[in-house]
Amino acid sequence: MSIVRTTLIAVAAAIATAAAPNAQTAKKTAPATAAKPAMAKPVALAPSDMKWGPGPGSLPAGAQMAVLDGDPSKAGAPFVIRAKFPDGYRIAPHWHPTDENVSVLSGTFLVGMGDTFNDKSMTTLAAGGYAHMPKTMHHYASAKGETVIQVHGVGPFAVNYVNAADDPSKKK
């Protein structure tokens, strides 16, 4: 037993001795005047504090949107938005230049993948449901009952329609 104990102590000492120079080396190579990253502002919003407005022109009329955190248009910046859709709302096949993460907060959100809107192939997500669409994945969506979703990701968040004729911002 004393041989095992002596061996364990020797191994521990060897590891500590080997690690010590590396830790000191790292400290020596770190610049003394390294800038601290800017601290993000905390966000705590009651539902009554959220500023809702019309959705962007890239979405069909009827959507409402609230930016909770960040700036969805800023490249490389994280953001959180909420969208509220009326019953029967539909978004034609589209894609985004960045990943899209959707959490369903209320109502029923239906999502499908592909270039053609197909009600039969859609996945139904009730409150508590989640969907992740990798960047450039073609997908479409609709709402059953008034539906609220929360989207988070890294900007820029943009909606690019598979069929340019479906883009509401081009219809004037």
pTM of the model: 0.77
| pLDDT per residue rounded down to tens, the chain (172 residues) | 444 343 333 333 333 333 334 333 444 444 555 666 677 789 999 999 999 999 999 999 999 999 999 999 999 999 999 999 999 999 999 999 999 999 999 999 999 999 999 999 999 999 999 999 999 999 999 999 999 999 999 999 999 999 999 999 998 6
Q: Which residues, 6+ apart, have CB-to-CB distance to 168 below 8 Å? A: 57, 58, 59, 60, 61
Residue 135 Cα distances to 34, 91, 131, 132, 148, angstroms: 34, 17, 13, 9, 22
